[in-house]
């Protein structure tokens, strides 16, 4: 197949969607002709991956000054919408990518606005499109305007929610995976616990600081390493000052995907007190690296981790402290959980996930062929 992935910012940000897009594109390029159309932030580093033809277009990034200014002037304007619209506009002006569209057998999109714009563009050319749904919020207008051929959820729980609440016709579930390289990382613990997430309130930034504050008397040398950036940085730092633990926290900002792996291999455990997740990759990747995890007891986390980590109600502070303390003081328990986590993650490597996604793409192509024959 000739497959075209579309992702507004796959080459400019680091996170779950970026990892999913690039990993699937790379694995599928071993058997198919794969292209990635993505936005290139002006002045940014161009993305390259062996086997994947990357068409990176200069566009307006959602964190850039033009969109930031527009969002502040008109708060009702969604920056993700503007970002995707920007890529769609540049796409239509590029002869190279228009040629790619004409040759492509199937389009793969991964955000709702990319799906909205590019599924309609693909439909005009008779090309099927697959939307790998990462989010969980869709309005009536989306259903009316979207022209996606086939929808795929990233988790069973999100599929049920999307069907029940928004009536999206989800056909399949293909959950993200992990790199085989993580499974081979050696463990060499250092005296820190790890927090990896976009810094915003829903990810548990305040809870992570409070957990550190409450266990610090028993573990005076323990540090909290925070990887990520976002609007909650000031709030997280302010809470650390208020609780007098700022000196015990290392804010590393955003790191490359591979750089984060090194921290998994040295952390005593990962804290993941998030309040809302569809299918989080961070705890699954930590497990693949043999790092013990303590996480929120919510459906997305439970599904991605198989409940192998200790899952705790996000608001039960006493239970968080109890579980984290027990795990930090019991070396054997950490090793056991790390080994069990690796065995679970071994089932979800990207090569296995890509085979599932390949099947879904083929089904969309066949469906499109049958529809055209029906009208023929």
Q: Residues 304, 19: contact at Cβ < 8 Å? A: no
Dihedral angle sign, alpha carbons of residues 83, 112, 24, 202: positive
Q: Tell me which DSSP letter residue 290 carries.
A: T
CATH 3.40.50.2000 fits 2-177+350-375, yes or no: yes
- Separation CA 309–CA 208 (nearest Å): 17
Token couple for 225: 């390493």
Query: pLDDT value at position 369?
Result: 72
What confidence tens digit (pLDDT) does each residue in 223-253 have? 999 999 988 999 999 999 999 999 999 999 9
What confidence tens digit (pLDDT) does each residue in 302-359 have? 999 999 999 999 999 999 999 999 999 999 999 999 999 999 999 999 999 999 999 9
| pLDDT, mean of residues 353-374 | 84
SS3 content of the chain, % helix, strand, coil (to 5): 50, 20, 30
Query: pLDDT value at position 45?
Result: 40
Domain 180-348 in the same topology as domain 2-177+350-375? yes
Query: pLDDT value at position 14?
Result: 45
- Separation CA 337–CA 328 (nearest Å): 12
- Separation CA 277–CA 326 (nearest Å): 26
Where do we find the tokens 């693949």?
288
What confidence tens digit (pLDDT) does each residue in 345-361 have? 999 999 999 999 999 99
What confidence tens digit (pLDDT) does each residue in 264-291 have? 999 999 999 999 999 999 999 999 999 9
Query: pLDDT value at position 307?
Result: 95
Beta bridge partners, 226, equal 195, 251
Residues listed for the chain = 376
Q: How far is CA 210 from CA 160, 225, 261, 263, 367, in A?
A: 34, 14, 25, 21, 52
Residues 6+ apart with CB under 8 A from 39: 8, 9, 10, 11, 12, 56, 57, 58, 59, 61, 83, 86, 87, 90
- Separation CA 299–CA 314 (nearest Å): 12
Between 82 and 243, where is the model more confident?
243
What confidence tens digit (pLDDT) does each residue in 106-130 have? 999 998 888 888 888 888 888 999 9
- Report the share of the chain in percent with pLDDT over 90: 59
Does residue 375 have a pLDDT over 90? Answer: no
Residue ranges covered by each domain of the chain = 2-177+350-375, 180-348
Token couple for 242: 């208020």
Residues 6+ apart with CB under 8 A from 242: none
What radius of gyration do the chain's Cα atoms show?
Answer: 21
| pLDDT, mean of residues 32-48 | 65
- Report the share of the chain in percent with pLDDT over 70: 84
Q: Which helix (H) or strand (E) holds 241?
A: helix 233-242
The pTM of this model reads 0.87
- Written in H, E and C, the secondary structure of 174-234 is CCCCECHHHHCCCCCCCCEEEEECCCCHHHCHHHHHHHHHHHCCCCCCCEEEEECCCCCHH
Q: Residues 149, 128: contact at Cβ < 8 Å? A: yes
Does residue 63 have a pLDDT over 80? Answer: no
The CATH number assigned to the domain with range 180-348 reads 3.40.50.2000
What confidence tens digit (pLDDT) does each residue in 133-169 have? 987 677 777 778 889 999 999 999 999 988 888 888 8
């Amino acid at each position: 197949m000739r497959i075209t992935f579309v992702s507004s910012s796959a080459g400019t940000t680091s996170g779950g969607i970026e990892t999913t897009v690039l990993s699937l594109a790379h694995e599928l390029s071993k058997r198919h002709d794969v292209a990635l159309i993505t936005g290139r932030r002006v002045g940014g580093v161009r993305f390259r991956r062996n086997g994947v033809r990357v068409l990176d277009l200069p566009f307006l990034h959602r964190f850039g000054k033009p969109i930031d200014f527009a969002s502040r002037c008109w708060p009702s304007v969604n920056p993700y919408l503007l970002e995707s619209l920007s890529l769609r506009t540049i796409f239509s002006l590029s002869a190279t990518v228009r040629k790619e569209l004409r040759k492509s057998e199937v389009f793969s999109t991964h955000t709702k606005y990319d799906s909205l714009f590019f599924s309609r563009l693909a439909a005009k050319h008779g090309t099927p499109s697959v939307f790998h749904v990462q989010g969980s919020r869709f309005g009536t207008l989306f259903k009316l305007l979207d022209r996606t051929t086939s929808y795929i959820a990233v988790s069973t729980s999100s599929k049920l929610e999307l069907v029940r609440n928004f009536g999206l016709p989800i056909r399949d579930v293909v959950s993200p995976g992990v790199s085989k390289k993580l499974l081979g990382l050696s463990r060499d613990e250092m005296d820190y616990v790890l927090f990896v997430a976009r810094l915003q309130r829903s990810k548990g930034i305040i809870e992570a600081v409070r957990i550190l504050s409450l266990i610090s008397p028993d573990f005076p040398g323990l540090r909290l390493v925070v990887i990520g950036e976002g609007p909650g940085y000031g709030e997280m730092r302010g809470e650390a000052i208020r609780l007098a633990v700022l000196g015990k926290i290392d804010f590393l900002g955003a790191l490359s995907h591979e750089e984060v792996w090194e921290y998994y291999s040295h952390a005593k455990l990962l804290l993941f007190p998030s309040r809302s997740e569809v299918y989080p990759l961070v705890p699954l990747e930590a497990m693949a690296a043999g790092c013990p995890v303590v996480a929120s007891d919510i459906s997305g986390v439970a599904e991605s981790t198989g409940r192998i980590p200790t899952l705790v109600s996000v608001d039960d502070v006493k239970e968080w402290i109890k579980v984290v303390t027990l795990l930090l003081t019991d070396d054997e328990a950490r090793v056991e959980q790390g080994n069990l986590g690796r065995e679970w993650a071994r089932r979800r490597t990207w090569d296995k996930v890509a085979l599932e996604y390949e099947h879904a793409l083929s089904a969309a192509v066949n469906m499109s062929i049958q529809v055209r024959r029906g009208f023929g």
